[in-house]
Structure 1
Amino acid sequence: MIFQSGSLLLVIIGAYLLKHLHIFGDHDYHVLQGLVFNLTLPCAIMLSFATNKHDMKMLWIVLFGFFACAIPLFIVYVGSRGDERNYRAFQMLNASGLNLGAFCLPVVQTFMGPSAGLPIIMLDIGNATVATAGSLTITRTLLHMDGNFRSLPLVLRVRGILHDFFSSISFDMYMLMLIFVFAHVTIPQPIITLITPFANANAFCTMAMIGLMMEVPDSRKDRMELLKVICWRLVFACVIAVAAWFLLPFDERIREIMVLGSFAPITIFSTKFTDSLTGNAKLAGFSMTVTAVLSLILMTALHAALPVA
């Protein structure tokens, strides 16, 4: 298990070193972002649905994921009062939301096999309803950073929000697979065979993308704000993990997967939204990388410690 998590960490470090050897440029991570969000992650989502049984009771996990993402957003809004508006936005966007599909999915499947993917995806369906667009809308509205958005007609505002959601292929795939669950649709074997190589590449592409995004910010204020976000996330992760372990009506294996998911890092969407609202791309990328490394360490330790056969 240590070698499994170590191999993922080595991919992050290797990509970071290759960037500093000028084999990759500062913005080359955009290529891997495109591959992960539009190809490898959607294929991994489909493969997990196609190769695992669908228990309708797992819809409770979807609801749990929604509250696990939404509630911290409002807590940080209240708790960050007194800070500068840009840094409040940074805290709200980065202290809430779980990087489940792009990060936790490959990590948990590495630890526990392909069957561990479905609970993570169900958790991410609820999480993604907030993290993929809702957190941006809520943050810029509460902090009055919405510019001309509030002056637009209601129809245009709704259209813009819906575009934020459905322009994400990963989110669309989540919704499609959820419809398949309700409709009892089975994905044909030839399609499973075609998507398997892309799904298997998801872990490598995700870790390499994180390594290429990593860059240490120059400002001490930026580093202090990152420390605040890490503290927020650790508190929320512990609360979510305890709630998942003691409240969710599932066996110990699924509850362990939920606990591991609780310690997932900052989402890619949060880094994108941070950049668009505050213009601080360096802090956004470094924050995700730091929390990704911390998450990998914590998830490895929890997997070893939890009393699950």
Structure 2
Amino acid sequence: MESFNSQFLYSILIIALGYVLKRSNLIQERDGEGLSRIVFNITLPSLLIITFHDITIDTSLILLIIIAIVYGVAQAVLGLIVFRDKSQRTKGMLSMMVPGFNIGLFAFPLVEAIWGQEGLKYFGMFDFGNALIVFGVVYVLGSYFADENERKDLRDVMKKVSKSVPLLTYIIVCTMNFTNIPVPGAILEVAGTISVANMPLSLLLLGIYLNFSFAKGSFATIAKLLSLRYIVGLAVGVALFFLLPFEDMFKYTLLMALVLPISMSVLPYSVEFNYDQRFVGTVSNMTIVISFFLLWGLGYMII
């Protein structure tokens, strides 16, 4: 338990360092875009290669993918129902913020430090399904309710999915695993060296992007959105924790994954579809803080 608390404390300090560096103008928020590209396209895929190149994928791991997809679709439908009375653009912005989780950037650093490769294996399989939701369902929602000249067709959606380096890494490495094709030793050595940087860079990036400012009068909408994510997520997570007959790590994964922050991809989507970027960014940051302390509390009770 002491190591668990220590890891959360170290994570807070690294996030705070990123925030202080931004506030002191030593790093600009726009610098975070370059850093995020490094994390999502280099350090995170390297970590995935190291984690998945030789794991044994059993039934419970496949079930994590299915649960992530089913839950994401269900949340998308629930979001459309709850926000049905909003204007088209507002409904599009809010509904794409309901499904999908920030796993690669937010959860992986904590999971790696607390549970190591074993934890990454479970959260990674959940993220496989989550990636299909984020790059498929969430993108389609954002596009469908955007202004007509900003909507995307199926070809654009498929192009977006095909350019996701983490998703492609999942597919390639897991396919090689299934077919017993070994990853070359040189690639493993390089990936192993690079993957070490994923945790500190991810946490620094969270601090750089922290920002809390939103228009007056939006509190009720924010409260409804956060309730959809956290009350529903926590209720489903607790139910699955006690009902499913699987190993502890499987249950920990579901309990914690369903209360993770909004996916980082939602912010660039809001730019692409010309939604309220300030609102999206602020709410995303709020979920980072809420999820951080929720995970700390949940971890304290179950570990």
Per the normalisation by structure 1, the TM-score is 0.89
Q: Distance between the aligned counterparts of 2:200 and 2:118, measured in 1? A: 19
What are the equivalent positions in structure 2 for 1:112-151 lying under 5 Å apart? 112-141=115-144, 143=145, 145=146, 147-148=148-149
Residue in 1 aligned with 2:188? 192
Write the letter of the residue equivalent to 2:14: V
Contact persistence 2:136–2:161 (CA under 8 A): yes
Measured after TM superposition, the shift of residue 233 of structure 1 is: 0.9
Does the CA contact (< 8 Å) of 1:99 and 1:265 recur in 2? yes
What do you get for the CA RMSD once the two structures are aligned? Answer: 2.1
Q: Which residue of structure 1 lines up, in the alignment, with residue 264 of structure 2?
A: 268
* Aligned-residue offset at 1:62: 0.8
Contact 1:41 1:202 in 2 (8 A): yes
User: What is the alpha-carbon distance in structure 2 between the residues aligned to residue 218 and residue 268 of structure 1?
Assistant: 18
- CA distances 1:275-295 after superposition (whole Å, capped 9, x unpaired): 333442232222222211211
From the superposition, tell whether residues 222 and 177 of structure 1 become closer, same or farther in structure 2 (CA, over 3 Å).
farther
Name the % identity: 19
- Offset at residue 79 of structure 1 (A): 0.5
Residue 55, structure 1, aligned to residue 51, structure 2 = no
Structural mapping, 1:15-94, within 5 Å: 15-50=18-53, 52-94=55-97
| Structure 2 residue 292 is matched with structure 1 residue 304 | no
User: CA shift at 1:248, angstroms?
Assistant: 4.0
Contact 1:94-1:270 at 8 Å conserved across structures = yes
Against the structure 1 CA distance between its residues 218 and 291, is the aligned structure 2 distance closer, same or farther, given a 3 Å change threshold? closer
In structure 2, what is the equivalent of residue 177 of structure 1? 173
Q: Is the 8 A contact 2:53 2:176 kept in 1?
A: no
1:293 aligns with 2:289: yes
Q: Deviations over 1:113-137 (max 9, x none)?
A: 2221011111111111111232121
CA distance in 2, matches of 1:280, 1:200: 35
**What residue in structure 2 maps to residue 110 of structure 1?**
113
- Cα deviation for residue 87 of structure 1 reads 2.9
CA distance in 2, matches of 1:248, 1:182: 26
C-alpha contact 2:14 2:200 (8 A) present in aligned 1: yes
Deviates more, 1:73-82 or 1:213-222: 213-222
- Tell me the distance in 2 between the aligned counterparts of 1:181 and 1:272: 32
| TM-score under structure 2 length normalisation | 0.90
Matched, 1:209 2:205: yes
The whole-number CA distance in structure 2 between the counterparts of 1:234 and 1:97 is 12
Contact kept in structure 2, 1:68 and 1:240, CA below 8 Å: no
Q: Is the alpha carbon distance of 1:162 and 1:146 closer, same or farther for their aligned partners in structure 2, counting shifts above 3 Å? A: farther
Q: For 1:29-48, what per-residue CA distance to the aligned partner results, in whole angstroms no more than 9, with x for missing partners?
A: 10111111111111111111
Pairwise CA distance, 1:148: 4.2
Summarize the Cα distance change of 1:262–1:45 in structure 2 as closer, same or farther, 3 Å threshold: same
Q: Is the 8 A contact 1:101 1:120 kept in 2?
A: no
Cα distance 1:29–1:261, how it changes in 2: closer, same or farther (>3 A)? same
What number of residue pairs does the alignment pair up?
A: 300
Residues 101 and 130 of structure 2 are in contact (CA less than 8 Å); yes or no, is this contact kept in structure 1?
yes
How many angstroms does 1:249 deviate by?
4.5
CA separation of 1:122 and 1:146: change in aligned 2, threshold 3 A: farther
CA distance in 2, matches of 1:242, 1:218: 32
CA distances 1:236-276 after superposition (whole Å, capped 9, x unpaired): 21133134324544211221122111111110112222233
The 3 A distance-change label for structure 1 pair 175 and 270 is: same
Using a 3 Å threshold, how does the CA distance of structure 1 residues 272 and 123 change in structure 2: closer, same or farther?
A: same
- Gaps (5+ residues) in structure 2? none
Is the contact between residue 49 and residue 177 of structure 1 (CA under 8 Å) also seen in structure 2? yes
